[in-house]
């Protein structure tokens, strides 16, 4: 991992700028979201911080390896709203998962929204895809 600058941290996520700000790494913690309002509060804050950076030609690496799995419809809908707010900020997106089950879950979600992204358990593969 290259030198990074932390721009946001809470109990659920931390956000790092890497590669001179060209790569944004969003790392989910192992703490489960209490409710959908928490999801919207956390990712609303992430969106606000990212917009304030005014960076260009960004790529996103979302590290979901520690995130607890949730597939209740209301949680999936809240996360979809967050993706729809944050993903347009990036030219390319990639998601790092811990397991084949996580990859399968994310593949299902990719079919439901309009944002292309690569999902893998291999960080080096994702960084190559992002051009980082």
Dihedral, 103, 105, 108, 109 alpha carbons, nearest 10: -100
pLDDT-derived band at 21, boundaries 50, 70, 90: confident
Please state at what angle helix 36-53 crosses helix 73-86, rounded to 10 degrees.
10
Query: What's the pTM?
Result: 0.92
- Give the DSSP H/E element, type plus range, for residue 17: strand 13-18
What pLDDT, in 10s, does the model give residues 80-120?
999 999 999 999 999 999 999 888 888 887 878 878 899 99
What pLDDT, in 10s, does the model give residues 10-19?
999 999 999 8
Confirm if 94 and 67 have CB atoms less than 8 A apart: no
Q: CA-CA distances (angstroms) from residue 73 to 6, 18, 20, 55, 117? A: 32, 33, 37, 33, 21
Instruction: State how far the Cα of 123 lies from the Cα of 132, in Å rounded to an integer.
Output: 11
DSSP 7: E
**In the predicted structure, residue 1 carries a pLDDT above the cut 70:** no
What is the pLDDT averaged over residues 49-65?
Answer: 91
What pLDDT, in 10s, does the model give residues 65-83?
999 988 899 999 999 999 9
């Amino acid at each position: 991992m290259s030198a990074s600058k932390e721009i946001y941290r809470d109990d659920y996520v931390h956000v790092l700028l890497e590669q001179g700000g060209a790569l944004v790494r969003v790392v989910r913690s192992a703490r489960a979201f209490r409710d959908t309002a928490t999801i919207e509060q956390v990712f609303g804050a992430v969106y606000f911080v990212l917009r304030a950076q005014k960076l260009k030609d960004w790529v996103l690496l979302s590290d979901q390896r520690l995130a607890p799995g949730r597939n209740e419809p209301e949680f999936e809908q809240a996360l979809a709203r967050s993706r729809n707010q944050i993903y347009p900020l990036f030219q390319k997106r990639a998601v790092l998962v811990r397991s084949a089950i996580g990859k399968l879950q994310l593949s299902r979600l990719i079919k439901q929204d309009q944002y292309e992204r690569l999902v893998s358990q291999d960080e080096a593969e994702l960084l190559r895809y992002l051009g980082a």
